[in-house]
Amino acid sequence: MVQLQTPCVLCLPKYYRNINESSVDGQMKHTIVMALRKMLNLIKIKDKKKEQAASAAGKAPVKKQSAGELRLHKDISELNLPKSTSISFPNGKDDLMNFEIIVRPDEGYYLGGTFVFTFQVSPSYPHEPPKVKCKTKVYHPNIDLEGNVCLNILREDWKPVLNINTVIYGLNLLFTQPNDEDPLNHEAAAVLRDNPKLFEANVKRAMAGGYVGQHYFPRCA
């Protein structure tokens, strides 16, 4: 019998130090493999504990941003909002792809109203336009009763060189210059075209909270 000592770095049990010489190679290979597996498992467990600790501390694991998110972050940081407009992030600023724009027109038919629009931005932005809907039920020729918005730059006229700021200015323009030529609410468009005074009265009635025809509009003024 010979006494061989295994490498101390592996921290092997004492009984491995007295082994038969002919079995050294096999025993050592097995021991090294098992030790390496144990070390890898320990590293994985340590990394998992770090992630759990970060999560418990309110720090979510860092997520790689898409090209669309990076572009949107730039656009939002460079926003030049009209004084009648503000932006909010209902899900917090960690979710830039979903936000709200609040428009409070300071002139025109809709003076004094408050209108909320939701923006959903695709990771493909700016190659795809944002999806915009009006949360506020409004009597308007270019916004239907389900909140769909008729704005050409959100459809066929969208180009990657455009940005969120362009859309926001377009929304403001809808309230200062409603258009009866490309309507979603055909009834409102016909009244605007044929009887502007009645249109104005209908807008005020809707904003104050009331019926216009058979449709009820919650107060937004």
Question: Do residues 176 and 107 make contact, with C-beta atoms less than 8 angstroms apart?
Answer: yes
Kindly report whether the peptide bond that precedes residue 126 is cis, defined as omega within 30 degrees of 0.
yes
User: What is the C-alpha separation between 221 and 219, in angstroms, rounded?
Assistant: 6
Residue type, 149: V
User: What is the C-alpha separation between 21 and 4, in angstroms, rounded?
Assistant: 8
Residues counted in the chain? 221
Question: In the chain, what is the straight-line distance between the N-terminal and C-terminal CA atoms, in Å?
Answer: 97
Q: 150 an active-site residue?
A: yes
Annotated catalytic residue: which of 8, 11, 150, 220?
Answer: 150
Please report, to the nearest 10 degrees, the dihedral formed by the alpha carbons of residues 156, 157, 161, 166 taken in order.
-120
Question: Do residues 155 and 129 make contact, with C-beta atoms less than 8 angstroms apart?
Answer: yes
Strand pairing category for 115-120 and 210-212: unpaired
Residues taking part in catalysis: 150
